[in-house]
Structure 1
Amino acid sequence: MKIGEGVEWAVHLCGVLGVVPDGHTLPAARLAEFHELPPDYLAKHLQALSRAGIVKANRGVNGGYRLAKAAANITLLDITLAIEGSEPAFRCTEIRQQGPCAAAPAACKHHCLIAKAFLDAETQWRRSLASVTVADIITTATSESFDRERRRTFQSWMNGAVK
């Protein structure tokens, strides 16, 4: 399974948006600037996040983005599904019903061990992503990744970026 870079970007963006002060927004151009991301590609992901109800866009001169709900109510699974779609990673094609020794459809009422293993793994993967919220990411990032100078630089950038 390969998760596109857009998921990583979207999680980071939601982390930044999660600390935007109430009543304010962050313009898409400033979000792109924060991680030096291509603005057009970023816009596509912001639209997907907006359609999923994860971010909210405000239009106009003071327009920008903010989280549509509390960071504690947005999971990594929510973001992943918004960007990648909800299609399962593994899709059983019932290959055992093909070829010279094909099984009859009646013999294939249950998933084979191969399909079961992949589907169980995906269920566990989804549960794991659903257990981590944007609030968790923010808490960890600020406590482990931000020394005093980086925190001061971030706050200065944020103060100049929000609308």
Structure 2
Amino acid sequence: MTLGLINANPVVHAKKERIARSEDFHGDDAVDPLEIYDFVRDIRDPEHPYSLEQLSVLSEESITVDEKLGRILITFTPTIQHCSMATVIGLCLRVKLKHFFPPHYKVDIKVSPGSHANEDSVNKQLNDKERVAAAMENPNLRQLVDECLYSSEL
């Protein structure tokens, strides 16, 4: 947890029960939004010791799949309008999903409409390959993303 939290008292919700799966995603199967959600819901928030699910930053309904177009859209809702960690949350989602899908799928990650004061800027950063690559070359940012991802697996 960092000092000087922007949202010092977030609303925390109970975790939902995991959905039993008979198989892991193999890349040639149909993409199931609930399977994607189950894969990313435990990512830890960068500022709090809670998961994105617990903070209602991410929900089952926030993931849509268009099989015909090979597109996946993940929208997330920061806990406050001026969340300074919105791009970090998006990077965490992108990094975790990077090896999950076959290359013919396009994954778009956006903040929910109206949920962030700098919505257009955040969305542009999260979906620009060069910006994402540059961000992940920053050792401090990479460490923060890794902490959010690896602490979610404990």
TM-score by length of 2: 0.32
- Looking at secondary structure, tell me which structure has more helix per residue: 1
Structure with higher Rg: it is 1
TM-score by length of 1: 0.30
- Looking at secondary structure, tell me which structure has more strand per residue: 2
